[in-house]
Amino acid sequence: MPTGLIVGLIALVAGLAGLWQRESVRRHVGDGPEGRYSAGAYAVVTAVALAGPAVRFESPWELAAYGWLVVAAVPLAVIDVADFRLPDELTITAYAGVTVLLAVEAVTAGRPGDLQRAGAGAIALAGFYAVLFILRPAALGLGDVKLALALGAALGWTGWDSVIAAVVLTHLFAAVYGVGLLAARRAHRATEIPFGPFMILGALAVLHAW
């Protein structure tokens, strides 16, 4: 696909997504600081997040799947930071959309093995975070487990190494952030931090660079 067309599509998708993302966040967090972010701010973040998958994937169905994930992930991260929750309407919709679009790619391109791995990745990542939730319910919530379904499917489609790398990066990013807060004396060891944004950041970092 020509570079100019890719850039144009990213700009169009990000611009339209920004309008929806702004309203989605406002609906969940109200008029707090996070609820006042502009549609343009969401569009810029979404465009940056879409750049990696747009370069990496050539199939329109793959691009649609990862675009769907990114569009849902941006407001999820903001809502989690603002309200320490990940709404079902976004986590489940993200998982359903990614799964359906990757299934279409698998059928049309003859890639059943990749689809099976995506399904296994979703189950494995959600299972991993479900165990962590059971062991340490104060550290993450069921919303994080549901988010892991969408992230696990997207990562699993590209390979098990992507799933593992995303888990490592997620915990690394969260640890660095936590240490930074402690060093700045803006938190103590019992302070809760939203985990969803780090899951999203870890997954997107892998999808951009892996």
SS (H, E, C) 11-58: HHHHHHHHHHHHHHHHHHHCCCHHHHCCHHHHHHHHHHHHHHHHHHCC
Burial of residue 41 (CB within 10 Å: 0-12, 13-18, 19+) is middle
pLDDT at residue 187, as a whole number:
66
pLDDT at residue 190, as a whole number:
67
* 93 touches 75 (CB < 8 A): no
CA 69 to chain centre: 6
- Sites in the chain below the pLDDT cut of 50: none
Distances (CA, A) of 24 to 16, 28, 74, 128: 13, 7, 10, 28
pLDDT at residue 210, as a whole number:
65
* 126 touches 152 (CB < 8 A): yes
pLDDT at residue 31, as a whole number:
80
pLDDT at residue 1, as a whole number:
61
pTM, to two decimals: 0.93
**Residue 155 has which token pair?**
């990562």
pLDDT at residue 139, as a whole number:
83
pLDDT at residue 197, as a whole number:
97
Burial of residue 42 (CB within 10 Å: 0-12, 13-18, 19+) is buried
- Which residue is associated with the tokens 């699993």? 156
pLDDT at residue 45, as a whole number:
96
pLDDT at residue 188, as a whole number:
72
